[in-house]
Amino acid sequence: MSLIDRSLAEAARAWPFEEARKIVARIGGKPPGEGPGKGYVLFETGYGPSGLPHIGTFGEVVRTTMVRQAFRHLCDVPTRLFCFSDDMDGLRKVPDNVPNKEMLAAHLGKPLTAVPDPFSNEHPSFGAANNARLRAFLDSFGFEYEFQSATDWYKSGRFDPMLLAMLRHYDEVQAVMLPTLGEERQQTYSIFLPISPKTGRVLQVPVVKTDVDAGTIVYRDEDGSLVETPVTGGNVKLQWKADWAGRWFALDVDYEMYGKDLISSAELSAKIVRILGGKPPEGFNYELFLDEEGKKISKSKGNGLSVEEWLRYAPPESLALYMYQAPRRAKRLFFDVIPRAIDEYLAFVEKLPKDEAAKITDNPAFHIHDGQMPANSAAGINFGMLLNLASVANTEDKDVLWQYLRRYVPGATPETAPYLDRLLSGAVAYYQDFVKSTKQFRLPTGKERAALADLAETLRGIPESESAEFIQNEVYEAGKRHFAKEELRQWFKALYEVLLGSEQGPRMGAFIKLFGRDNVVRLIERALAGEDLGKAA
C-alpha cells in the first residue's frame, strides 16, 4: 500500500512530481480509454551501445522511473518505459576499454549489430553484447522496462511509415539541420545514411535525388557510382538528430530525459517532429557526471565508475539516492562519494515512517521505493561505523566482524539480517581498497592523555547493557572534565585520530556499543602506552 493518497501526490513538491505533472497536463489527465491515442503514456531512455554501460546510463533510467512512479500516483493512465538502444549506429572508433581492438578496427563504419563480439563470441555482434550487458545491468536493479533495438525497428519495417514521412518532408528537415553544420559538411550532408550493400558500412555520402512516390533516394557511393535504394526495410538509417526525432514521432514518446549537453540537439529534434506532424515529448535536462579530475565521464574512455565497481561496495539503493539528489547539478561520480551515499540512504529510510504525511514525498526513500516502506534494515548501524569496525578489528574476516555486530544487534546473523551482512561485505572491501592505506594514527598529547585515561576509567564502570546514547553522554562528560566548552570539538577529533586513525568518525557512543566497552578500553590503554594502533594487538 502506498504511503500517500492522490491529494498528497497532487501537492507534492519533489522534482519527480513536478515532472509528472507536466505529463498529466500533456494528456489532460484522462482515464484509460480517454487518455493518449495509443492508450498509454510512453517514457523512453536512449542508450548508445558503442561502449560498455555505465552509471550515467543507470542515472537516466532510475530518474525516468521515478517520474513514471510519480505519474502513477497522479494519474490512472497506463504507462510503459522503452529502453531504446541505438545499435544500428556505425562504429566510429574503437573504445579504449574493450579487448580485440585490432579486430574491431577492421569493422569501423559498420552498424554495431554487424560488428563481431570482441568479448567472447557469446553474442552475434558487438551491439548485441553491449545490449546484453545493458539488460543485465537494468535487471539487477529490478527496473520495469521494455528493451527496444534500433536494428530491429529499422529492419522489421516498423520504422517504415516514419522514414517515408521523413522522405516527404526531406527538404524541410534538411533546412532545419543544414544551418547547424559547417560549410564543408553542408555540401555532403543528408539526414539519410545508406547502408552500403558492398561494404556493409553506414555511409556519410551525398543524396543527389529523392523520389517520394517510389520511396527511394539516389546517393553517390564511395566509389563515385550512383545508387538508388529504398529508405525502408533497413536499407538506410537516419543521422542521429533526425533519428532521435524519428523515434519520438514513430513511437509517440511522451517523456524523455537527456543530458545538459544535448539541449540544443533536443530542440532541433523537436522541430523535426513538428514538421512530421507529431508532438515532441516532455523533457528534462540533467547535469553531467564528472570523474575524479572533474572531467565528463565517457563510455568509450571508461572513466568514472562502473556498475560493478559501485555494487562491490554498496547496495543499489545508495546509487539510486545519488541519482535522485540535485539532478540539475554537476556531481563527481567517483569512489569517495560511496560511503556518504550509503549512510544518507540509511538515514532517509530510518526517517521515512516518522515523516509527517505531507512531507513523505520530500524524502528520497519514498521515490527510491515507489512509495512503499522498504524491508531493508541495517539495525541502526551505518556504513561509517562498519568502516571503523573493520579498521580497529584489524581483520578481513567477516565472521570475526559479525561477532561484534551481535553485541549491537543480539541474535543477528548473516541469514537473519542479510542487508546488514551486505553492508558489512561492502565495508570490508571498501576499507581494504581505499581506507586502510590512508589511516594515520597518532599518540595522545597533553591533556588528551588525562582525558583518555578518565574515559577508560568511566567505561570500566558502565554496564555492558547500557545504551549507545548513555555511553555517548558519558564520552561527552569525560571531555567536559578536561576541555573547555569551546574545545570539545578538539576532544572528539582526538578520539578519532588516536583510536581510529582518521580525522572524522562516528558517534562514539554507538561505536563503543558496537566494538565493545572492554575492547575500547584496551585501545585506549595501548594508545596511552605508546603502541601503534595501526598494527594488530
In a domain, 281, yes or no: no
Tell whether the model's pLDDT for residue 40 goes beyond 70. Answer: yes
Do 304 and 427 share a domain, yes or no?
A: no
401 and 507 housed in the same domain: no
Does 209 map to a domain? no
Closest residue by Cα to residue 393 from 345, 421, 432, 438: 432
Tell me the C-alpha distance between 8 and 360, whole Å.
Answer: 9
Least Cα distance to 162 among 251, 270, 90, 87 occurs for 251
CATH code for the domain of 309? 3.40.50
Q: What is the mean pLDDT of residues 52-59?
A: 78
Measured between alpha carbons, how far is residue 397 from residues 425, 429, 433 in Å?
10, 11, 15
pLDDT given for residue 304 in this prediction: 66
Taking the whole predicted model, whether its pTM rises above 0.85 is answered as: yes
Residue range 459-469: mean pLDDT, rounded? 92
Q: 434, 457, 482: which is the final residue of a domain?
A: 434
CB 524 within 8 A of CB 455: yes
> HSE of 2 in the Cβ direction (CA atoms, 13 Å)?
17
Identify which has the larger pLDDT, 236 or 353: 236
Q: Please calculate the CA angle 292-297-303 and round it to the nearest 5 degrees.
A: 65
Both 452 and 323 in one domain: the answer is no
- Report the alpha-carbon distance of residue 420 to residue 402 in Å, rounded: 10
Please enumerate in sequence order all residues whose Cβ is within 8 A of that of 40, keeping only pairs 6 or more positions apart, or say none. Answer: 77, 78, 79, 80
pLDDT of 475 reads 96
C-alpha cell at position 252: 509517440
Q: Tell me, what's the pLDDT at 77?
A: 94
- Say which range, 6-15, 159-168, 526-535, has the weakest mean pLDDT: 526-535
What DSSP character marks residue 288?
P
Cell representation of residue 361 = 514525498
Q: Where is the domain boundary, 332, 347, 367?
A: 367
Tell me which residue range forms the domain holding 408.
377-434
Cα 251 to Cα 249: distance, rounded to the nearest angstrom: 6
H/E run at residue 65: helix 55-74
Say whether both 411 and 444 belong to one domain: no
The pLDDT of residue 472 is 95
261 found inside a domain: no
Least confident segment among 66-80, 283-297, 340-354, 467-481: 283-297
> Would you give the end-to-end CA distance of the chain in angstroms?
52
Rounded to the nearest 10°, the torsion over CA 197, 200, 203, 209 is 10
Instruction: Check whether residue 417 and residue 522 sit in a common domain.
Output: no
Instruction: Single out the residue of 26, 519, 530 nearest to residue 253, CA to CA.
Output: 26
Q: Report the CATH number at residue 485.
A: 1.10.10.350
Same domain, yes or no: 65 and 117:
yes
Q: How many domains does the chain have?
A: 3
User: Do residues 427 and 467 share a domain?
Assistant: no
Final residue of a structural domain among 392, 414, 434: 434
What is the Cα–Cα distance from 507 to 471, expressed in whole angstroms? Answer: 10
* Angle (nearest 5°) at CA 442 between 436 and 447: 145
Tell me the average pLDDT across 290-305.
66
Do 390 and 331 belong together in one domain?
no
**Which candidate, 55, 65, 81, 59, places its Cα nearest to that of 16?**
65
Query: Are the CB atoms for 77 and 41 separated by under 8 Å?
Result: yes
Q: 403: which residues sit within 8 A by CB, 6+ positions away?
A: none
Q: Is residue 275 part of a domain?
A: no
| 265-283 per-position pLDDT tens digit | 999 999 999 999 999 999 9
Residue 401 and residue 298 share a domain: no
pLDDT tier for residue 134 given thresholds of 50, 70 and 90: confident
Q: 369 near 4, Cβ under 8 Å? A: no
Cα-based angle 406, 410, 413 (whole degrees, multiple of 5): 55
Distances (CA, A) of 66 to 145, 359, 403: 13, 17, 39
Q: With respect to residue 208, please indicate whether it lies within any of the assigned structural domains.
A: no
Considering the domain architecture, whether residues 526 and 458 belong to the same structural domain is answered as yes
336 burial via Cβ count (<10 Å: 0-12, 13-18, 19+): exposed
Same domain? 10 vs 131? yes
The pairing of beta strand 236-238 with beta strand 192-194? antiparallel
DSSP bridge partners of 83? 45, 147
Note whether residue 266 is domain-resident: no
Look at the chain and count its residues.
537
Which of 169, 237, 155 shows the shortest CA–CA distance to 204?
A: 237
What is the rounded distance in angstroms from the CA atom of residue 17 to the CA atom of residue 7? 12
All cell numbers assigned to 459: 567505561
Reported as a pLDDT band with limits 50, 70 and 90, residue 302 is low
Stretch (H or E) spanning 144:
none
Has residue 537 got a pLDDT over 60?
Answer: no
Asked if the structure places residue 416 within a domain, the reply is yes
pLDDT tens track for 320-337: 999 999 999 988 888 999
pLDDT digits (tens, 9 = 90+) for 365-423: 999 999 888 888 888 889 999 998 888 887 788 888 998 898 888 888 999 999 999 99
Q: Please give the Cα distance from 506 to 489 (Å, whole number).
A: 13
- 179 within some domain: no
Q: Would you say the C-alpha torsion 23, 27, 33, 39 has a positive or negative sign? A: negative
Whether residues 67 and 103 share a domain: the answer is yes
Contact present, 129 and 89 (Cβ < 8 Å): no
- With a CB cutoff of 8 Å and minimum separation 6, the contacts of 97 are 51, 52, 300, 301, 302
Mean pLDDT value across the chain:
91
Q: Assign residue 33 a region: left if phi > 0, alpha if psi is -120 to 50, beta otherwise?
A: left
